[in-house]
A and B are shown apart, each in its own frame.
Chain A
Amino acid sequence: MDGWRGQLVRINLTKGSSKIEPISEKILKDYLGGRGLAVRIYTQEVDGDIDPLDKKNKVVIAAGGLCGTATPCASIASIVTKSPVTNTIVCGRMQGYFGTELKFCGLDAIVIEGKAEYPVVIFITDSSVSIRPALQYWGRTTKETQRLIKAELKDRWAARESFIACIGPAGEKGVSLATLVNEDYLVTGGVGIGWVLGAKNLKAIVIKGTQDVTVSNGQKCLQAIFSLKNRFNASPFTREKLPKYGNAFLLDACLKRGVLPINNFKGIAKELNGIDENNIERITHRRACFSCPIGCVRTVREKDREIVGLDYETVASFGYLCGINDLDDISEIRFLCTEFGLDILNTASSIACAMELYEEGALKDMELPFGGKNIISLLKQIGKNKGLGKEVGKGGSIFANSLNRPHIFMGVKGNAIPPFDPRGLWGLGLHMATSNFGAYHLNGLTVIEELFNIHEKVEPFLVEEKPEFVKKIQDMTASLDALGICINALFALKVNNILPIFDFVFGYKIDIEELLLVGERIWNLERFFNLKAGLCQSDDTLPKRLIEEPLNGYTCPLEEMLPIYYKERGWDKEGKPKKETLERLGLCKG
């Protein structure tokens, strides 16, 4: 099979066994890999009403369809499970080298089930799996764990080529905000995945592959890679802005549009507080994920450590939502989050929520004004699950509820809203309200069009047009996630630019409608699972502040957009997919 490897490994932690299973070609063609494949496997095997921390819950990791085929920007693997925080299906984006390495192991997906009796590490080398005890790594921070695992591998050249995804102390101790750390990159979008893995007593997955990935037409593939490279060099975003500043250049654009929120969405920034793209460029270096010609990851290199990922999400959420105006502090915070394995957006939002509660006088345990220096000690407490950190670490939603102020938490379905103000970006507002993983922006980055109008002109405040536009972006992102292509590629490419290389890799042609149909299929499958998990229409909402308190004269008109959106998707008034929609997508049995 060209492009795909056509098999998955099923690892049972209870029995300590593993089994290689084939994946049928039809499933691969219908779901393409990555998020699609992982969601399909997960929703087929797990019931919607399962307790996420139960040993019957599973975790599925799948490499994007185009990962490991030298397609530019194709490096994203997806990790899918039901999150204890949002109570919905969540999909974490694993950047870096993990997805491609999975392909070189001869696998498309890993399914992890059961619960180990004691902490374990999974070693995967070329489709052979061994499960070893991990007591010596339990309780260690992520960098320390990776160092120790690499030191223990006998062949040091093999150690260099092994890639490790592990959880930090936060995941082990059951902090809600915990996520997975993949090499030096934090897995975004998967809040609570660290907790699920911690509950399974799984500390780390070590992966090393030496097998071939075959493509349908190698020489044409190379030509397509060169022409895509030229396209990346033709766009000012991927030629200059992303390599130079990372996606932190969004700070400036958001400021100009008036959508850069400060102090837990209480207002918007009038000017940049010293956290700006030039300062970020000054202290950071450039790094890239596998196969990426852009290289937008900004890293701070210090003598004995490297802090990876000073991106927009980090600097805007800690720098503006929490008001920290020192870039050194923010890089320290990022470092601590990576060490403990904490989700950036949710940690920042929970802390911002705690800060607002402090300013309102509801929180007295710690001095926590916006921009206060105590944030670092609070972060350490969250990571160790101690003191006030134990409360904040339960997630902003539960924390604000426990102090009887649920409206202070800025999130949807328990997942925090990323630092873009939906009152100025209606499309993003609608997307976050309807997103299957709770508020999260990278599974529907409408911002690309709404802020920059790169591929199409979008009117900022037009209710009628938004639902169709949002649906298109959501489907497009879902199919890109399935292929493993990073969303940042959209700054230079249209989706139809990927179609030629798709043909040369997989050996069959697909057109743009079919590709979007795959995305729609994935989106509906996730929605269907969420409905079975007990979600209902009233969960498709935004926090009160964004709907009721106007900003520059605008609120987010969600109530007007939602019915149009449901209709556009082919769902009924309660947000349930209609039978004919499921039939059209070929989902009737599931």
Chain B
Amino acid sequence: MQRIKIDPKKCTGCRQCEMACSLNHKMDTVNPRRARIRIYNKNGHFLPVIAGPFADAACNTKAMIETEFGLVDMCIICRASCPHKTFFFEPDTGIPLKCDFCGTPPNPTCVKVCNTGALELIEVSEDELF
């Protein structure tokens, strides 16, 4: 099973993955707000987050996570599109977006376009996932 591995330390914040993702998913259109991957800027550290499943209600966890970039709001790293967080919704239609690995077999455009090695397609076994 293939998964995208994210190394935030290598990310330079060029957001080319967002651009390539939207270009690949909607014909002839570039718009990072349609991308299924988004880059968060946390005091100059960049955190790529890939859109996960849609949640129809917001959770009530208000957790802060201690990372090497300092305290990060859990909500930022959370991959879910929920009504509280409007990041993975299409701006005009309001449809929630979810990463589809650009088809089967996985061939993600974001990984292909990333020049820093922050995104990588790796092989993981099912046991490692959980």
Contact = CB atoms under 8 A, between A and B. Distances in A.
B14 A292 contact: yes
Interface string A56-69: 00000000000011
A289 interface: yes
Interface in B44-76: 44-45, 70
Contact of A211 (B19, B31, B112, B116): B31
Contact of B14 (A2, A213, A285, A293): A293
Contact of B115 (A157, A222, A287, A293): A293
Interface residues of B, number: 34
A474 B26 CA distance: 38
Contact of B30 (A69, A72, A217, A299): A69
A288 B115 CA distance: 11
Contacts of B45: 301
B15 interface: yes
B16 A72 contact: yes
Nearest to A161: B33
Nearest to A308: B44
Given A70-B30, A218-B30, A301-B44, 4 more contacts: A160-B40, A226-B113, A293-B14, A301-B45
A280 B13 CA distance: 20
B20 A225 contact: yes
A104 B92 CA distance: 13
A227 to B, nearest CB: 12
B58 to A, nearest CB: 12
A155 B15 CA distance: 22
Given A217-B28, A222-B109, A293-B14, A70 B20 contact: yes
A212 B32 CA distance: 9
Interface of A: 2, 68-70, 72, 97, 104, 155, 157, 160, 184, 210-218, 221-222, 225-226, 229, 232-233, 285-293, 295, 299, 301, 303-304, 306, 308
A300 to B, nearest CB: 9
Nearest to B28: A218
Given A68-B30, A299-B44, A218 B23 contact: yes
Contacts of B70: 303
Contacts of A304: 43
B75 to A, nearest CB: 9
Contacts of B112: 226
Given A157-B87, A212-B34, A222-B109, A291 B16 contact: yes
Contacts of B13: 287-288
B2 interface: no
